[in-house]
Amino acid sequence: MSRAHNFNAGPAILPVPVLEEAARGVLEVAGTGMSILEVSHRSKEFEAILHDAEERMLRVLELSGEDYEVLFLQGGASTQFAMVPMNLLGPGRSADYVDTGSWAEKAIKEAKRYGTARVAASSADGSYSYIPTKLDLDPAARYVHITTNNTIEGTEWAELPDTGGVPLVADVSSDFMARKLDHTRFSLIYAGAQKNAGRQASRR
């Protein structure tokens, strides 16, 4: 098979050995005589795969399992636009959002349903062509939300903002595992699985 050049803003190219291992697992997983699509999600074989994936993820992100949990959830990153404020915001409470692109805008719109989503900075005035350097942060905010890479507009945070102790939450959907970052700076990160990990973020 000749492999296509794939510069999709969604799923990007994966190494062939990775695809081959995944293909083998679709036929038979862990000597069970069954496909990974056929084994119980409560079987010890599947649980071993799940725990291995969690451990690998923590290792790549250089995070400790003592301090961080890995969750595989349904609904993609868009569901997190709601789940984050549902869990961390609440009526009468305020969180700071940095509006750097179309996805950040959607996160803000959703958070406003659950509490106050303050826009601490925005680059909407420049058609989202830059990352704002001055943030008007509220020290009493429940959290500060950023979008580390703006898939559509192509801007990326080069350095994480100093939130002065306020928990930093990030949508990392389009640069997840694509660069070295001090992930201990985050209290929570989320990403949609429709893009594969480590895909190269685009930069203007």
Ligand X SMILES: Cc1ncc(COP(=O)(O)O)c(C=O)c1O
Q: Does 166 interact with ligand X (rule: CB under 6 A)?
A: no
Separation between Cα atoms, residue 95 and residue 166, nearest integer Å? 10
Task: Select the residue interacting with ligand X from 58, 61, 77, 98 (CB under 6 A).
Answer: 77
Q: What is the strand order of the sheet 116-122 is part of? A: 116-122, 94-99, 144-147, 168-171, 188-190
CA distance between the termini of the chain: 33
**Which single residue is written with the structure tokens 């409560």?**
42
Residue nearer to ligand X on the CB measure, 163 or 174:
174
Q: Does 29 interact with ligand X (rule: CB under 6 A)?
A: no
Separation between Cα atoms, residue 54 and residue 58, nearest integer Å? 6
Q: How many CB atoms lie within 10 A of CB 110?
A: 19
Tokens of 112: 């406003």
Q: How far is the CB of 105 from ligand X (least distance, A)?
A: 11
**Which single residue is written with the structure tokens 């083998």?**
24
Q: How far is the CB of 38 from ligand X (least distance, A)?
A: 26
Q: Which stretch binds ligand X (CB under 6 A): 44-52, 84-92, 136-144, 171-179?
A: 171-179
Describe the chain by its helix, strand, coil percentages, rounded to 5.
30, 15, 60
Q: How far is the CB of 101 from ligand X (least distance, A)?
A: 7
For the window 47-76, what string marks contact with ligand X as x by the rule CB under 6 A?
Answer: -----------------------------x
How far is C-alpha 20 from the chain's CA centre?
A: 26
Q: Does 174 interact with ligand X (rule: CB under 6 A)?
A: yes
Q: Is 134 a catalytic residue?
A: no
Q: Does 155 interact with ligand X (rule: CB under 6 A)?
A: no
Residue nearer to ligand X on the CB measure, 39 or 168:
168
Supply the residues annotated as catalytic.
103, 171, 195
Which residues would be at the binding site for ligand X (CB under 6 A)?
Answer: 76-78, 103, 147, 151, 171, 173-174, 192, 194
